Chains A and B, each alone.
Chain A
Amino acid sequence: MYKYDSYDQQMVDTRVAEFRDQTRRRLEGKMTEDQFKPLRLQNGLYLQLHAYMLRVAVPYGTLNATQMHALADIADKYDRGYGHFTTRQNIQYNWIKLEDAPDILADLAKVEMHAIQTSGNCIRNISSDQYAGAAADELIDPRPYAELLRQWSSFHPEFLHLPRKFKICVIASDNDRAAMRLHDIGIQIVKNEAGEIGCAFYVGGGMGRTPMIAPLIREFVPLDQLITYSEAALRVYNRYGRRDNKYKARIKILVHEMGKDEYARQVEEEFAHLLEQGIEPPLAELERIKTFFQPPPFVSSEVETPNAERLSTALEANGDAAFARWVRANCSAHKAPGYVAVTISLKPVGGIPGDASADQMHVMADLAKEYSFDECRVTHAQNIVLPHVEIGRLNELYAKLAEAGLATANIDQIGDIIACPGLDYCSLANARSIPVAQKIAQRFAENGKGETLGQLKLKISGCINACGHHHAGHIGILGVDKKGTENYQLLLGGSEAEDTSLAKITGPGFDEAGIVDAVEKAADVYLARREDGERFLDTYRRIGMDPFKEALYA
């Protein structure tokens, strides 16, 4: 993985000094809170319901063991012994003191980490595929491109006061595991007809109040023009994005109101101009970054090892049903023979989705070192991946995970819920998300339908800002405030994957107990109507909303 050189290190060190100075000026009264707010936000510091929250960047979701240990230490030293992994592959701490923040940033800088631009109206942390460098289906490892974009977007002087936040995602597989088209800019690394590698640019996607799927703006941007094209796309947004209404300020509204063709035309014009400015790093810089992302020294096996599916079948025959279930649910195909990518579920039944204790973080760090070439990843679904695990060592790994309470077998199943912090923490929320997630997970653990249902992505947001991705859930839940009581709307048919779609609302909302029943009824409709090999989403798409409505509102 990427390693800072003296320049990168100096940049984060300078940033720590800058923030320390800003905090001092704020505490001395030289700055108003209104003036300080965007500065602390661009260092990841939010003021929430009960305390400050600090969001730490995990660039493209990749961490080494040392970094994961450091994150655990911060949880212990400055917070309440746990952290929360987020849908943008970051981690946040909920109980931070403002005066500790500069010291935390200094601790992070020691392990080549930071909280730069994890909030505020600027380009945020670049996200990517959690199986990058491991996935059997990828064209190329997308992370060098994400790192190039990270450096370009860090402290970019023109784009630190955008109309609104700006999220960029880079993937390199036709199977989208990063919700690419629900980003302000989604980049897919592709190969053109001439066999050259380049970038397809999708611009203007997003969730929030007005969910939109990003349209394709340019089919192919050559690799040595990636930064220049990105800069052109941002400049057109900075110039024309709406600033009169924060709910209409995202680039999705601009692209929608201007029309994608006119937006693309303006970007082309700016792009042609910027190409003459020589702002693009040389390809040698990309090559330098790529050297940090070379495949690890995989052990090649003389004996053919079974893939995960065959292994789980064999285990089942051996009577090891729990391990077999975990292998089936939590392991995915790897490009190197004899290896799998293992996802550690942070969704135990009854737990808080995405939370991990400091002890668990230490365990995951140690396991990453021992079993996965010192690497782990954060997923947008709020789980942790060990990307390179030898199939022959899965049983050992599983036993150690089980001991730490980290062996829940439910990836992409109904218990693997994405949930925002909701009214338990967030100052914007209208309703609680966490207790609803817990009750649903409990219900499906008790009725035993979780595994039978197969892939069923459930996503819960506690307000219309949609941090819990409810628009993109096979089943989505939106918490609203209805005359002072929490009410939950049910949505069906969304997807954040390569078949991106936006979920539709079923009808009137439910109370907290009612929404749990409603989810089970919707699941039962699927079980009754599914045909061979269909996921919940496929059945919904085939039979439509009506059969679900009949069951829900009969």
Chain B
Amino acid sequence: MPDTLGTSPDDVQFRFRDDEMVDHAAVTVDAFLDQSNAAAVRIEPGDDARELLPHLERIRLVEVNFPGFMDGRGYSSARVLREAGYDGEIRAVGEVLIDQLAIMRRCGFDAFAPASKLDEADAEAAFNRWDDVYQKTTDGRAPIWQKRHG
């Protein structure tokens, strides 16, 4: 079945999970809401991630597309899903750059399929740069205020 929409496991350059990858391509939010068998869905910047919340139990992969790296709506989409308890894969796709990796991790992304492959050493440095964080998100890291006050 030709499908140019989703990324394939081969496109994934970084992944912070151990489960098996979904082997079929993601469908649009509209297509996902119209059918009951898709386990992979792709969110575009203008999509409302909250529409997926009633269906989280059947989703294993959410791709969040960044057609341009300056459009930050995908960060909110990922957090909305994590805050609702979604624990499947959230994959950043499209224009994913070195300097977005760390903040994407903080917002709940755990897989990255950049349109252009990234320098491995630069990426590793970026993922590991920040020892501490000021805000609480759902990434499990204790914010600085929590460390200050126990």
Contact = CB atoms under 8 A, between A and B. Distances in A.
B75 A158 contact: yes
A402 B117 CA distance: 61
A169 B125 CA distance: 35
B147 A7 contact: yes
Given A25-B122, A152-B135, A161-B70, A14 B129 contact: yes
B148 A30 contact: no
Contacts of A157: 75, 102-104, 106-107, 135, 137
A158 B98 contact: no
Nearest to B77: A239
B136 interface: yes
A162 B72 contact: yes
A22 interface: yes
Interface stretch (A77-85, A277-285, A529-537): A277-285
Interface string A171-198: 0000000000000000000000000000
A57 to B, nearest CB: 15
Contact of A161 (B72, B102, B106): B72
A284 B147 CA distance: 12
B119 interface: yes
A282 B145 contact: yes
A277 B81 CA distance: 13
Q: In the complex, which of the residues A30, A158, A239, A285 has the most CB atoms of chain B within 10 Å of its own CB atom?
A: A158
Interface residues of B, number: 38
A273 B83 contact: yes
A363 to B, nearest CB: 36
A123 B132 CA distance: 20
B11 interface: no
B79 interface: yes
A121 B119 CA distance: 26
B144 A7 contact: yes
B16 interface: no
B16 to A, nearest CB: 15
A156 B143 CA distance: 12
Interface string A245-289: 000000000000000000000000000011001110110110010
B115 interface: no
A238 B75 contact: yes
Nearest to B122: A25
A154 B134 contact: yes
Interface of B: 45, 48, 69-73, 75-76, 79, 83, 97-99, 102-104, 106-107, 119, 122, 125, 129-138, 143-145, 147-149
Given A31-B98, A243-B73, A277-B138, 19 more contacts: A5-B148, A18-B129, A21-B125, A22-B99, A31-B97, A38-B70, A155-B133, A156-B134, A156-B135, A157-B106, A158-B72, A158-B137, A161-B71, A162-B72, A163-B72, A235-B76, A238-B76, A281-B145, A285-B145
- Interface pairs A-B: 6 shortest CB-CB: A161-B72, A157-B103, A157-B106, A281-B145, A285-B145, A7-B144
12 contacts: A14-B130, A22-B99, A31-B97, A35-B97, A156-B135, A238-B73, A238-B76, A243-B45, A243-B73, A277-B136, A279-B135, A285-B148
